[in-house]
Structure 1
């Protein structure tokens, strides 16, 4: 039974209103850190529009949260960095800066062993906020740093330390987003969404194979693509990804990201859970009647359980015919996605209070009122203390009239393991 503990470091930054979510949660060997930002304990942004200074502070905040569990950045296995980019940010330099600050906390001896995904956006939740980074770490039962294996296939551009294209730790594998920013190589097929989706899936497959797994071991697949909020663009990438997946596939999230660097059309990262000795790990899938559906038949699932882990793919406000519910109504669509998230978890005998990490993407700009309303409403579905959360605004979603997308990771407690 994974024991739960929660972290809220003394004097740490806060939101504008009290929420059930905590900065970090540990369950067994897994630690999840919600999106960290540069704010005061009263919720006000600090060092506005200064990406370099905010990045240093945010990395320090992640380390502070991890230390509440007896861990540190040395134990991190995956980072996702959301950052504001109007086209003026050198992504490769930004990636190197994150690595520099991580190494300052861990020491150069850590080498590789950390996967990362960069997600450039028009803005973050508040004016002047430039970066929000979330983390996953693994800590042994006795507080030891668990052994990890890294993969950096020679055909892929090198990443700056301490980052690797793939990391295997315990029964888990995380990949860095493909394609990855690099000073050494130019993006393949600039402007071609289908070709870049094909390349990203091929790279992900190569990384997984180097770590003794394959795409069928994937439990969670995230896609960021240069989209315009239309079904046509979403369908192009969705069909291409689907060609690499076997039904029933992983839980999937796919979101338009119009601020990818020039020529870049998509980024894809994966979380896989291979079995021992080359065997496929057992998994079960959510069997939901009358559930909402995408307007395409895709080899992805609403939710799956593998071991103690339960992954709920992105939930959006569609009906059983793939049509939007309550178009343009953020709060009602939020209610719909939280209700469908609860229903998926219930298929595994779990509740929303078994959540360890949730990401909410909502239509909006850098506006306190929007994020406060969305946070407060989502928080009301949970019993305090709740797991870690990240909330990020987007200008559009995969289909017209959608306003919000929520993805969730939960962990089964005693009596619910598959």
Structure 2
């Protein structure tokens, strides 16, 4: 396969893969050709194959292939021809290796570019399958989906050396996808206990998490607060960096929240050990309006992970956004927080190797391009690999954006 054959349908320079701390990051890979055009407009199965081709091409730049993936995350349009289980099965078949990566598939109502049905984000670790410490937590595929898979189980947690990934979990029963309650706090407890149990199988726990990312149904900060406090109760300070944003679709339909984690744990003298990390919280950077144990930036093993940055008032925990409802100004302001956090580790924006962005959109490509222009204006070089997730709304009417990233350092 020829390297570097695809690009986003966007005119300014961008990278398709980045390397930080020995991990290769691919963001926003879709079914694009060398000009940025979608090759199979509106065709999810064909776009999934094409996007995975492009993931392989990007990973090859850093000497990796799809079998080196530890975590694969997809944002897919859920009403154009494939179920979530069909997507996960297709990814498993394409990787073609066991254990399979940790796969998260998120249904979304909007895509960043016209005609797009899926985008893929990948974290890979070159040669992890040849390492000595590989641990897997697996669950049986539901009986009515078993025919889709070549193996009876899917990966619910993967530890590849020190790095581990637990894909997004909902409160759905593993056997039949039923959800036992419609209460968001009760569902959150179910999810967090499942994450805890999965990490225990990997020899890890919540204190080892470097990044938590989650989703919930809600349109106000009040709806966010109850589930947020429940999630936070499973961590202790200093905890991971975190990003949680509203979602607009989940599978199964009765699920109201979904959470995933990434982390590091080392084996030493025959025991699993916590790996100390550095953290930073510049005084200018905002605080949460409820008490939580998370940090704003953490550095471990040569990679800097930021929490999800939002346009809250600086140095304050009032939960009030600046420039209410103004996407461009809020994006630039939010990127200034990313800069503040990076500077705490003597890093700069050109050190970014992944950006993940959630932003309010009308669903048009023009809105995505406007958003990307605002991000690009804040960077000292090309856009890093970037995942852009358009949203019909964010945490409130006045908030339009949340951004997190990974940088070398």
**Structure 1 length-normalised TM:** 0.88
In the TM superposition, what are the counterparts of 1:137-176 in structure 2 within 5 Å? 137-140=124-127, 145-147=130-132, 149-152=134-137, 163-176=154-167
Q: In the superposition, relative to structure 1, how do residues 60 and 181 fare at CA in structure 2: closer, same or farther (>3 Å)? A: farther
Instruction: Tell me the distance in 1 between the aligned counterparts of 2:398 and 2:156.
Output: 35
1:292-346 Cα offsets, whole Å, 9 max, x none, are 1222121111111223121100000011222011111000000111000100111
Q: Structure 1 stretches of 5 or more lacking a match?
A: 1-7, 104-109, 413-418
CA contact (8 A) 1:75 1:145 kept: no
Q: Which residue of 2 aligns with 1:194?
A: 185
1:195-243 Cα offsets, whole Å, 9 max, x none, are 221111111111111111111111100101222x211211121011011
1:383-415 Cα offsets, whole Å, 9 max, x none, are 335531111101122234110110111121xxx
Does residue 1:32 correspond to 2:22, yes or no? no
Given the alignment, which residue of 52, 60, 63 partners 2:45?
52
In the TM superposition, what are the counterparts of 1:9-24 in structure 2 within 5 Å? 9-19=3-13, 21-24=14-17
Classify the secondary structure of the residue corresponding to 1:247. coil
Classify the secondary structure of the residue corresponding to 1:164. strand
Q: Which residue of 2 aligns with 1:269?
A: 260
Q: In the superposition, relative to structure 1, how do residues 263 and 270 fare at CA in structure 2: closer, same or farther (>3 Å)? A: same
Q: Structure 2 stretches of 5 or more lacking a match?
A: none
Given the alignment, which residue of 335, 342, 358 partners 1:338?
335
Q: Which residue of 1 aligns with 2:237?
A: 247
Instruction: Tell me the distance in 2 between the aligned counterparts of 1:243 and 1:183.
Output: 24
Aligned length: 395
Q: In the superposition, relative to structure 1, how do residues 87 and 173 fare at CA in structure 2: closer, same or farther (>3 Å)? A: same
Instruction: Tell me the distance in 2 between the aligned counterparts of 1:272 and 1:77.
Output: 12
1:104-159 Cα offsets, whole Å, 9 max, x none, are xxxxxx2124001111111101232110011111114xx98445523325699699
Q: In the superposition, relative to structure 1, how do residues 147 and 81 fare at CA in structure 2: closer, same or farther (>3 Å)? A: farther
1:154-211 Cα offsets, whole Å, 9 max, x none, are 6996995584111111221111111387883233324221122111111111111111
Q: In the superposition, relative to structure 1, how do residues 181 and 18 fare at CA in structure 2: closer, same or farther (>3 Å)? A: farther
CA contact (8 A) 1:40 1:46 kept: yes
**Structure 2 length-normalised TM:** 0.90
- Report the RMSD for the aligned CA atoms in angstroms: 2.4
Instruction: Tell me the distance in 1 between the aligned counterparts of 2:43 and 2:173.
Output: 23
Q: Which residue of 1 aligns with 2:91?
A: 98
Instruction: Tell me the distance in 2 between the aligned counterparts of 1:367 and 1:174.
Output: 33
